Every structure is written in structure tokens, then in C-alpha cells.
């Protein structure tokens, strides 16, 4: 699936990318902010966190995105069937409980869950870059950007709100800065 991922995964997304991780977010933005300030330009850093990102994924939207970016249909339909047929239960002291209805979201830790979040957030990246071209970095559902004005931050937040309404996601007011 690597050739398929290369078609949609943005360079700004470093979560679960081979050889990349959270330091690529922090060090990149910190160095860029310092360079911007040394040039006498303003620098505003915006850090956004999603509330229960994996639990809030709208699967019908997700599977449409998978198809739109050319994921093999066999994989899309197999995943759709798997979620349609899943019957989660709790196991306590060797006994399985009643079936728990599985509504929305994707199973975090599933081999596809990182692709699920990355694909969904790649839509956010593309929209952000159209509205407010600024250096961005994402580590799965944690998004960061460096802006030159408070207006750019306001525009970015409006864009994020629109994305949340469209995608079922929710930006955390408590864990964002």
C-alpha cells in the first residue's frame, strides 16, 4: 500500500511516517519560529488537538475518501464489511458480555487506524494550505502551524471549525493553544 499512500499523504504529516515522528513537528516549527523572529517578523504558533479523533471518524465518509484516493476497492469493501459485521464484547473473568452496538469511529490500534486518521487529516491540510498558506506539521491528530498574524490564526480556526462540521471531528478547546 506504500505507492497508494504516497498519492495522498502530505509531506506535512509526520505521524507514523517511516523515520519521522513528533520531534519532526516540534523541532521544525521551533526552528522556523526562531528564524522568523530573528528576521523581525511576527510568529504565532497554533497547536490543535482533536477530541477522540479515532472515535469520531465517520466511516461512510472515510470509505468514500479511500475510494477517491485510489485505494484498491477490495480493501475498501473488506473494511466496510468488517465494520458492518463487528460484534464487540467485553471479556471479564473468562466470560464474554453482551454484544455492544458499534456505532461510528474506527478501532484505534487496528493496522489501518493510522491511515484512517492520516487520510482524514490530509483533507484538513489541503484546505488549510488553500485558506492560509503557512508551515504546518501533523502527528496523526495533533496539528500545528506557524502564522504571521492573529488574522491568519483566526482564518485557520474558522477553516478547522468547517472541517470539524464536515468530518465529524472536534477540536479540543482545552488541549489546544
Contact 45, 33 (CB under 8 A): yes
Is pLDDT of 20 > 80?
Answer: no
Give the per-residue pLDDT at 129. 93
Contact 140, 14 (CB under 8 A): no
Mean of pLDDT over the chain: 89
Identify the pLDDT of residue 87: 83
C-alpha cell at 58: 465517520
Q: Which of 124, 154, 149 is nearest to 138 (CA)?
A: 124
Tens digit of each residue's pLDDT (9 = 90 or more) over 91-118: 999 999 998 887 788 988 888 888 999 9
16-22: average pLDDT: 74
Backbone φ and ψ for 69, nearest 5 degrees, come out as -95, 10
Amino acid at each position: 500500500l506504500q505507492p497508494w499512500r504516497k498519492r495522498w499523504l502530505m509531506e506535512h504529516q509526520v505521524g507514523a511516517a517511516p523515520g519521522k515522528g513528533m520531534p519532526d513537528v516540534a523541532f521544525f516549527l521551533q526552528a522556523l519560529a526562531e528564524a522568523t523572529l530573528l528576521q523581525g517578523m511576527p510568529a504565532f504558533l497554533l497547536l490543535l488537538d482533536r477530541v477522540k479523533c479515532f472515535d469520531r471518524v465517520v466511516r461512510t465518509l472515510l470509505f468514500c475518501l479511500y475510494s477517491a484516493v485510489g485505494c484498491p476497492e477490495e480493501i475498501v469493501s473488506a473494511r466496510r464489511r468488517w465494520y458492518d459485521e463487528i460484534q464487540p464484547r467485553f471479556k471479564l473473568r473468562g466470560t464474554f458480555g453482551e454484544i455492544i452496538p458499534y456505532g461510528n469511529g474506527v478501532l484505534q490500534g487496528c493496522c489501518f487506524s493510522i491511515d484512517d486518521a492520516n487520510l482524514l487529516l490530509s483533507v484538513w491540510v489541503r484546505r488549510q494550505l488553500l485558506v492560509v498558506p503557512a508551515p504546518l506539521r501533523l502527528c496523526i491528530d495533533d496539528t500545528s502551524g506557524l502564522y504571521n498574524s492573529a488574522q491568519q490564526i483566526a482564518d485557520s480556526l474558522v477553516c478547522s471549525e468547517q472541517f470539524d462540521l464536515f468530518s465529524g471531528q472536534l477540536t479540543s478547546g482545552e488541549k489546544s493553544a
